[in-house]
Structure 1
Amino acid sequence: MKKLFILLAIPLLLLEACITAEQTYTLLPPGRWRAVLKIENQYITPNPKAKPLPDKVNMKYEDVTQGELPFNFDVVYDNDSTFHIEIINGEERLVVPAEDITFGRSRSRARDTIRIDFPIYSSYISANYAGGVIEGEWVVTTRENYSIPFVAHHGKDYRFATVKKEPAANLTGKWEATFGLDEEEPYPAIGEFSQNGNHLTGTFLTETGDYRYLEGTVLGNKFWLSTFDGSHAFLFEGKIQEDGTLTGAFYSGKHYRTTWEAKRNDNARLTHPDSLTFLNPGYERFTFSFKNPEGKLISPDDPIYEGKVKIIQIMGTWCPNCRDETMFLVDYLKNEQPDDVAVIALAFEKHKDEAKAMQALRTYKERFNMPYEIALAGPASKDGAAKALPMLNHVLAYPTMIILDKNNRVRRIHTGFSGPATSEFASFKTEFMKFIDELRAEQS
């Protein structure tokens, strides 16, 4: 694969021992680091009914600091003077290449500085570093005045705690969950966990996508899971109740907090993703015309797409689930090389400035080596999506995949994307291939 990718999924064999560096280095010490985003006391909790929020968890624990979202990363030297970073979330490593890491010197503070860019997601870490400590902030440029304090220490390989207190239960399995207990519209989810001693991994699936690779620990009757990918910073806290059910809190960065509960249910199911989005009455075909970053109008009615099965990907460059779907579609086109299947991505972006939004699309297409068009459809909002695509009842989730036959008739609309962190991914791939082959076999 090309080095231009910012985030590459690589299987991870989890390491329990601290990593020590024996080779020489010129910048950051190589090996394992423990990073923390300090999100405490900065929550904006949705509470439209102005009711007192229940204390669902009480997660105080002497060996785990409240309000800290931890993750691990490795500094890996490619040669004597260049290194890349591998962010670790469960079974996945997300690679930040050397080209996205820059160094400088603060004249006013006489300190060395580092900037770690996540250009796909328009965010970055800006920090000072000295020896085995990096301290600064994570900044998201698509949110107004949005930054979270960041600190990382070299040589620490644990995520939440070093203690190994005996777990009150084994959480391995499937859990029927409800999120947003303190909101007007709670939403269903499914927790999929795998526990080995104190170590816990897994994810939550929702009807709009999954929370990707989560990793954490179980201590006594409490547990924690986290993930950081440059776009989202998720922290889940949970408590094992005496009746075996779970209650917890979910934090997305510093801007969102809600509560959740779950009960074990191996047969838990969400609404089928092909039934959530549909064409409004009066529409039989799906058509559009939007500009790509080069200013060319892209439409499924263009002659280049005539007689082909078309996959329309409603997405945003800021969306990790969209990233998973993009990688899936890129791999499909690369491996199958179908000459009668085309993909068009319609991006709804958080950048208010069109020039910045178009640049985000250029970067995204380049980094993922996308062999298909990506066009700017509008702002990343429900109103923007409704205006751009009035033929749909709504755009419930990014991504949403619309599959057209050779005559541009809508044959399937798949809401959300359950990616490689979920148990649904393998069956989705099989069904997708089968359905596309059936459409390819039809006459135009």
Structure 2
Amino acid sequence: MKAYPLLLSAVLLAGCQSATTTDTAQAGAGTASAAALLTPGPWRGELAAQGQKIPFLFEVKTEAGKPVVYLINKGLNGEERLRCDEISAAGDSATIKLHVFDAALVVRADGQGKLRGAWVKYDSKTPYRVPLVATAGEQPLFQSTAAKGSPFSGTWKTEFKDKTGKSYPAVGIFKQTGRDVTGTFLTTTGDYRYLAGQMDGSTMRFSTFDGGHAFLFIGKPNNSQGIADTLNDQVYTKIKGDYYSGKSGHETWTATLDPKAKLPDADTLTYLKKGESRLNFKFPSIVQGSSISPTDPKYRGKVVVVQILGSWCPNCMDETAYLAPWYAQNKARGVEVIGLGYERSADYDKAAPRLRKLKERYHIGYDLAVAGTSDKDSVAASLPQLAKFLGFPTTIFLDKKGVVRSIRTGFSGPGTGQYYEDEKAHFNRTVDKLLKE
């Protein structure tokens, strides 16, 4: 978070725009070619990165005579299905644009009943291609052996450590049923979304792939410290493991079973500089030719929620999936939402279309602006009233007078189970309190 097969065609260099043609016959042929490659039904894909295999599940369906791909991620409270309907063909290859992300799967048949190709990220600063193989049919994420008991189930106080030795806290929440494990990690800036996998002996493997991010977690009981107790079933109290992100990201992690494990209060991590009480910004809207500021007449006398987000950010995607319908149901109460987008590119003509796609996908009715690039320094420079900014998403609540009343770092999404319900309840309590004033 190398090299790729030579079978990929020049379509890899097509960039982030959807394939278009003025020739209806060619478009029809492309759809037919893609449909011939993408057999309807369940599939299992496997990304090869860092000497590891990162598996994911997807389903191909035919809708209105065209193939549609659904990325499937399973978690604590069910599954999500991310619809990928921008599919084109060039020569013997098919390009599957991946949901809201500036990424694609580019594949072709290998003559042996499989698809081979690459996961391509177009918005990466350096060429980003990860080899891919996919096989049709109902299959588990991982091959596994029989499991006894549920030694990984529970809440875990966790610490991640990167290659430089820098560490950060997390809370792991896992549920094991037989061989199957679901769960996630919560951090101060969000969660790792839907994670699912299987237990193989004493090793737990789980993964996720949302189109923009591919994660693999491997965990084993930390037997070197003598913490595996054997009664009728095994009960682990410590775990050590590895976390692989895409083609280059790697961290290690350790965890201790702790039902009371929790993170710092998300309302205390981001705050204003001393003497500041308001936000002062004016950013270009994704509606070309217009701008957005909290002092605009539209927002006066209303509670305003400022969402700091990026279309590339999976936790922002989760928050947006909640905020968009919430806004539609609550805007008549006197509340507005402003989305400040920080994208991979500083070029408005590249950043705005990414946010427009997010708006279309999630039916966003509130205003979106292009505020900067996707790094902490850009946020700090564009919102100088903030004393500290930790990560995306961050949500800022303004009262009816435009005063900043609360700042919440991160968002616990639907992959976190009860934590997601708590997140929504907290959001509503905050807004309700401000509306009553």
TM-score with structure 2 length normalisation?
0.84
Q: Aligned pair 1:70/2:55, yes or no? A: yes
- How far apart in 2 are the matches of 1:317 and 1:235? 22
Match of 1:34 in 2: 44
Change in Cα spacing, 1:413 to 1:182, as seen in structure 2 (3 Å) is: same
- How far apart in 1 are the matches of 2:313 and 2:140? 28
- Using the TM superposition, give the Cα deviation of residue 287 of structure 1 relative to its aligned residue in structure 2, in angstroms: 2.1
Change in Cα spacing, 1:303 to 1:311, as seen in structure 2 (3 Å) is: same
**Among 177, 186, 206, which residue is 1:205 paired with?**
186
Deviation readout 1:288-311 (Å, 9 max, x if unpaired): 100012131100100011110000
Match of 1:44 in 2: none
Matched residue of 1:273: which SS? Answer: coil
- Using the TM superposition, give the Cα deviation of residue 119 of structure 1 relative to its aligned residue in structure 2, in angstroms: 5.5
Match of 2:140 in 1: 158
Change in Cα spacing, 1:433 to 1:264, as seen in structure 2 (3 Å) is: same
Deviation readout 1:67-88 (Å, 9 max, x if unpaired): 0000111112235x32322212
- How far apart in 1 are the matches of 2:48 and 2:149? 28
Matched residue of 1:227: which SS? Answer: strand
- Contact 1:176/1:191 (8 A) holds in 2: yes
- Counterpart of 2:109, as a letter, is Y
- Contact 1:382/1:394 (8 A) holds in 2: no
- Contact 1:349/1:357 (8 A) holds in 2: yes
- Contact 2:103/2:121 (8 A) holds in 1: yes
Greater fraction of residues in helix: 2
- Contact 1:249/1:257 (8 A) holds in 2: yes
**Among 79, 83, 87, which residue is 2:67 paired with?**
83
- How far apart in 2 are the matches of 1:402 and 1:279? 11
CA RMSD across the alignment: 1.7
- How far apart in 1 are the matches of 2:166 and 2:420? 27
Matches within 5 A, 1:1-400: 26-41=36-51, 67-78=52-63, 81-90=65-74, 91-98=78-85, 100-105=86-91, 112-118=92-98, 120-129=100-109, 132-143=113-124, 144-161=126-143, 163-167=144-148, 169-180=150-161, 182-242=163-223, 243=227, 244=236, 245-293=238-286, 294-400=288-394
- Using the TM superposition, give the Cα deviation of residue 222 of structure 1 relative to its aligned residue in structure 2, in angstroms: 0.6
- How far apart in 1 are the matches of 2:282 and 2:184? 37
Match of 2:4 in 1: none
- Contact 1:119/1:363 (8 A) holds in 2: no
- Using the TM superposition, give the Cα deviation of residue 182 of structure 1 relative to its aligned residue in structure 2, in angstroms: 4.8
- Counterpart of 1:225, as a letter, is F
**Among 404, 409, 428, which residue is 1:433 paired with?**
428
- Using the TM superposition, give the Cα deviation of residue 168 of structure 1 relative to its aligned residue in structure 2, in angstroms: 7.3
- How far apart in 2 are the matches of 1:322 and 1:316? 6
- How far apart in 2 are the matches of 1:169 and 1:339? 47
- Contact 1:167/1:221 (8 A) holds in 2: no
- Contact 1:169/1:221 (8 A) holds in 2: no
- Counterpart of 1:83, as a letter, is P
Identity score, percent: 39
Deviation readout 1:149-174 (Å, 9 max, x if unpaired): 0110111411111x433357521111
- Counterpart of 1:435, as a letter, is T
- Contact 1:231/1:318 (8 A) holds in 2: yes
Extract unaligned runs of 5+ from structure 2. Answer: 1-34, 228-235
Matched residue of 1:424: which SS? Answer: helix
- Contact 1:207/1:415 (8 A) holds in 2: yes
- Using the TM superposition, give the Cα deviation of residue 214 of structure 1 relative to its aligned residue in structure 2, in angstroms: 0.4
TM-score with structure 1 length normalisation?
0.83
- Counterpart of 2:217, as a letter, is F
- Using the TM superposition, give the Cα deviation of residue 97 of structure 1 relative to its aligned residue in structure 2, in angstroms: 3.9
- Counterpart of 1:71, as a letter, is F
- How far apart in 2 are the matches of 1:181 and 1:356? 31
Matched residue of 1:187: which SS? Answer: strand
Matched residue of 2:401: which SS? Answer: coil
- How far apart in 2 are the matches of 1:396 and 1:275? 11
Change in Cα spacing, 1:236 to 1:361, as seen in structure 2 (3 Å) is: same
- Counterpart of 1:135, as a letter, is R
Extract unaligned runs of 5+ from structure 1. Answer: 1-24, 42-66, 106-111
Match of 1:11 in 2: none
- Counterpart of 1:233, as a letter, is A
Matched length: 384
